[in-house]
Amino acid sequence: MDWSSDEDSIYTMINKPRGIASIVYMTDDDPKYGEKNRQWLKEMWEGLDFQVIEVNNPNKDELTHHLEHWKSEIGRSPSKHDCFSFSFIGHGGIKNGEEYFLLRNQEEYKFIDLYAKFSAPLCPGLAGKPKLFILQACRGAQNGISVELFTSASPSSIATDMSDYFILQPCFIGYKSYFNSQNGQSPFIETVKDVFLGEYRDNDVQTMATNITRKISNNTPLLKDGKSQTTTITTTLRKALYFDGIRGGILPRFKSIHLGASNNVKKSKDNRKTFKDDTTSNKVDTKKVNADEKDFLCKCGLQAKQRLSKQDDENKGRVFYRCSKSKGMQCDFIHWGNKLMCKCSTPALKLVTSKGGNKGRVFFQCSNTHKNCRFFRWEDSILE
């Protein structure tokens, strides 16, 4: 496999923390509209290995100082920051064709001024690196409506001044964004959190954003209230962005070695040492496994997460599927499977690293030598 081409087309995400996640939330009008959504964002960014910095109710000068401070921090040690994210929870609008969000004392802060601060010339520490913006704010005063559908069956190596941006907003330009009037919760923020935390080990940011757009457009509570919302994606990313830190340059440097007894070793076509699987001597029908197990939905309607049991009983090392939400918010869905499957419905290969800071760490990757689907997971990241 030509790993060099992957490194050229995928952002490097190897640092811990990945970078700064700034969360700005406004609670002047009503505290309930910021608190729960702030908690969701904090849980999400921490779960994705970002250093979270929170700012409550800043005015324009305070926000400018905050942004300039972290720009300077990144500039002093750019190699420690793979990414930057900025999240906002509050109100916004559009005036004379320019979008803005509202800070303390109703001060307006233009979106374009925010983006420009992190352009390559003004923030060289982030040049060529992804910059993510999740902005929970109205973009106008128009209400969205829903309709019933009747349907029939060479990435560049040069970073331009405004490249490597990814902006996710809850509504189309000119439209309102909605909160739950009873508890202040944002369906947009909740969906972003659930999808990012539930899918980041398998999907890139663009794929997850598409899934967020679909889920928001099908949001049942909004539709029952006669409302609709169309999440908007604006991107100048030049590469695929994965939060799991695997596809961004770590995997190519691994050398896989055998974990079991010598009489269990066999050679694959690409000369890697692998397990001879003695724990499932009966052949597994991969098509049946894929159909029956791979796409389970939990009771929340989310794709269930694949885990390995580490309990010291007859199920030790066995795959099971459960709700992908964080602890304390999970439903009680659980389903037991047979063995870990990669994206192309092939039993995953179990290997161990032999060099570097992850020496001795066990991982799984795709075993299909003809069509590798890039599946990769650390064993300790999926152990329950």
Whether 65 and 198 share a structural domain:
yes
User: 243 lies in a domain?
Assistant: no
Does residue 299 carry a pLDDT above 90? no
User: 247 lies in a domain?
Assistant: no
**pLDDT score for 88:** 94
**pTM above 0.95?**
no
User: 240 lies in a domain?
Assistant: no
Question: Quick one: tokens of 83?
Answer: 């990414």
The closest of 166, 299, 150, 140 to 229, measured between CA atoms, is 140
Contacts of residue 219, defined as CB under 8 A and 6 or more positions apart, other chains included, come to: 187, 191, 229
* Domain of residue 189, residue span: 3-235
Whether 129 and 262 share a structural domain:
no
What is the total count of domains within the chain?
2
β-pairing, 319-322 vs 305-308, is antiparallel
Read off the pLDDT band of 211 (50, 70, 90).
very high
Read off the pLDDT band of 356 (50, 70, 90).
confident
Does residue 23 carry a pLDDT above 80? yes
Residue reference for tokens 């169309």: 230
Whether 263 and 145 share a structural domain:
no
User: Could you give the C-alpha distances from 212 to 90, 187, 194, 195, in angstroms and in order?
Assistant: 20, 10, 9, 7
User: 48 lies in a domain?
Assistant: yes
Whether 142 and 173 share a structural domain:
yes
Whether 272 and 341 share a structural domain:
yes
Whether 198 and 268 share a structural domain:
no
Whether 297 and 375 share a structural domain:
yes
> What CATH number is attached to the domain comprising 185?
3.40.50.1460
The closest of 30, 177, 5, 14 to 82, measured between CA atoms, is 14
User: 92 lies in a domain?
Assistant: yes
Whether 62 and 130 share a structural domain:
yes
**pLDDT score for 332:** 75
| Span of 26-35, 187-196, 226-235 with lowest mean pLDDT | 26-35
* Residue 176 contacts residue 214 (beta carbons within 8 Å): no
User: Could you give the C-alpha distances from 353 to 257, 332, 356, 357, in angstroms and in order?
Assistant: 7, 35, 8, 9
For the stretch 147-180, pLDDT in tens is 554 444 444 455 667 889 999 998 888 888 888 7
339 or 342, which is more confident?
A: 342
Could you tell me how far CA 92 lies from the centroid of its own chain? 25
